[in-house]
């Protein structure tokens, strides 16, 4: 009959099926979490490697810029010394004299 209450056996079967579905869903969530964790670790490693490469390149660029500036300054000093030999010798003598006096007094 249409209005008969569902049988107890049928309700227990539905409950067991629901538990099975819930367990399967739980396993799927755990598996998805594990996959997400693995993907995050992989992506984190990729980001770290990219960042390290960018820092390395920035360091190389900075080194090259400093080297170029030092080379330019060296050429300017060389040009000044060649253009003003007596003045340069006097400056070198004066600096050496005072440096020697300072070192003797410090010791």
Mean pLDDT, rounded, of the chain: 91
Say if residues 96 and 104 touch (Cβ distance below 8 Å).
no
pLDDT one-digit tens code per residue, 65-102:
999 999 999 999 999 999 999 999 999 999 999 999 98
pLDDT one-digit tens code per residue, 33-43:
999 999 999 99
Residue 1: which pLDDT band, with cuts at 50, 70 and 90? very low
Rounded Cα distance, 91 and 97, in Å = 10
pLDDT one-digit tens code per residue, 54-70:
999 999 999 999 999 99
Q: Residue 81 CB: number of other CB atoms within 10 A?
A: 14
> What is the H or E stretch that residue 85 is in?
helix 85-106
The structure's pTM equals 0.50
DSSP string for residues in 20-82: HHHHHHHHHHHHHHHHHHHHHHHHHHHHHHHHHHHHHHHHHHHHHHHHHHHHHHHHHHHHHHH
- Closest of 107, 69, 84 to residue 92, by C-alpha: 84
- Closest of 84, 104, 82, 102 to residue 94, by C-alpha: 102
């Amino acid at each position: 009959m249409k209005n008969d209450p569902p049988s107890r056996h049928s309700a227990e079967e539905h409950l067991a099926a629901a538990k099975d579905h819930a367990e399967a869903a739980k396993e799927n969530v755990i598996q998805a979490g594990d996959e997400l964790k693995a993907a995050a670790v992989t992506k984190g490693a990729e980001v770290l490697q990219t960042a390290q490469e960018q820092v390395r390149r920035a360091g190389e660029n900075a080194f090259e810029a400093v080297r170029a500036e030092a080379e330019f300054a060296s050429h300017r000093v060389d040009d000044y010394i060649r253009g003003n030999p007596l003045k340069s010798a006097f400056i070198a003598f004066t600096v050496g004299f005072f440096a020697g006096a300072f070192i003797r007094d410090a010791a």
